[in-house]
Amino acid sequence: MPELPDVTVYIEALEQRIYSHTLTKAQIASPFLLRTIDPPVDACVGHAVSSIKRVGKRIAIGFDNDIWLVLHLMIAGRLHWSEKLKKADGRRTLAAFVFDNGCLTLTEAGSQRRASLHMAAGKAGLDALDPGGIDVMTASLGEFIAALTAGNHTLKRALTDPHVFSGIGNAYSDEILHRARLSPVTLTSRLTTDEIARLRLATRATLQEWMDRLRIEAAGGFPEGVTAFRKEMAVHGRYGQPCPVCGAKVQRIRYASNETNYCAQCQTGGRLLADRALSRLLREDWPRTLEELEERRIAK
């Protein structure tokens, strides 16, 4: 799922291409994409783009008549830009937005249709789509502490909750916690002042680093190959591979269709966190530490 760094770079690329340009045609080819009908999509046609902004993980494109086109790419949605006219086929290409200088298309891989398009009128309509999480790149330490400690949740849940923090999802939360040397299951109420300060610095540094990386990768072009799994990441998507800091194998916690990746040596003092599926099955046979896990591997 595109998160804050990816969405930011998408927006910067869109600003270079469609800001002040007029939408001449909007084609929605998937019945699952459009989630609202008032105002209609055609309300944007014939109007120029006056603003492009991030709303959580959404990309909001505003027009000179104060109508907003708001895209949420979810897991498999991606944007593409072409100077040539493209058509939406309803299979992979779900929508095509034709401007006076090119065409923006939205594609979604796979059979599940999770990407969404909401239409909004004015600031009130746009605000209604904002989950309300703080922007960690601009929030003060006091604002960060207030948001983090408003509830008592695990760090993983707090970082990925859009009502707490804006734009952080599964991938970058893993990277943030690894950089901060904090366990994903630590409760926010148990953090020390120093740990909270360390988490804030790690959050800002991780997101800024990846924004810079993605800008370099795009090199002024439209960002393609947007993915949550990158070889340069420290732990996310790298289960079983060596941690770049200590060399220990990256571990994981699996739940539903998601998983959390972490380094036990760097983040949990060598303690293995219970994988819900496997630990229930193995019960007392579930290894508690990296040393115990390695001993069992050697014994096999």
User: Is 265 within 8 Å of 290 (Cβ atoms)?
Assistant: yes
C-alpha closest to that of 164 among 149, 174, 179, 175: 149
Determine the Cα–Cα distance for residues 35 and 169; give it in Å rounded to an integer.
22
Residue 290: the pLDDT is 47
Residues 101, 41 contacting (CB under 8 angstroms) = no
Residue spans in the chain of domains classed CATH 1.10.8.50: 136-300
Task: List phi, psi (to 5°) of 120.
Answer: -140, 150
Give the pLDDT of residue 288.
Answer: 54
Q: How far out from the chain centre does Cα 281 lie?
A: 32
Q: What is the pLDDT of residue 285?
A: 44
By three-state DSSP, how is residue 80 classified? Answer: strand
pLDDT at 111: 77
Q: Which CATH superfamily is domain 4-127 in?
A: MutM-like, N-terminal (3.20.190.10)
Distance between CA atoms of residues 186 and 269, nearest Å: 12
Give which of 91, 191, 211 is closest to 144, Cα–Cα. 191
Rounded Cα distance, 48 and 45, in Å: 8
Rounded CA-CA distance 277/289 in Å is 18
Angle at 252 between CA 73 and CA 112, to 5 degrees: 30
The rounded distance, in Å, linking the Cα atoms of 272 and 260 is: 12
Q: How far apart are CA 180 and CA 195, in angstroms?
A: 8
- Cβ 227 vs Cβ 196: under 8 Å: no
* Beta-ladder partners of 62: 51, 68
Supply angle C-alpha 251, 236, 159, rounded to 5: 100
Which pLDDT score is estimated for 282? 39
For the entire predicted model, the pTM comes to 0.90
What is the three-class DSSP state of 251?
strand
* Alpha-carbon span 189 to 286, nearest angstrom: 28
**Per the structure block, which two tokens stand in for 203?**
């959050």
Cα gap 254→108, rounded to integer Å = 25
How does strand 23-28 pair with strand 102-108? Answer: unpaired
The helix (run of H) or strand (run of E) holding residue 142 is helix 141-148
> pLDDT of the chain along its 300 residues, tens only?
799 999 999 999 999 999 999 999 999 999 899 999 899 999 999 999 999 999 999 999 999 999 999 999 999 999 999 999 999 998 899 999 999 999 999 999 887 888 999 999 999 999 999 999 999 999 999 999 999 999 999 999 999 999 999 999 999 999 999 999 999 999 999 999 999 999 999 999 999 999 999 999 999 999 998 998 999 999 999 999 999 999 999 999 987 678 899 999 999 999 999 875 544 443 444 445 445 444 444 444
Joined tokens for residue 137: 């790149």
d(Cα 68, Cα 179) in Å, to the nearest integer?
Answer: 37
Domain limits, CATH 3.20.190.10, in the chain: 4-127
CATH number of 136-300: 1.10.8.50
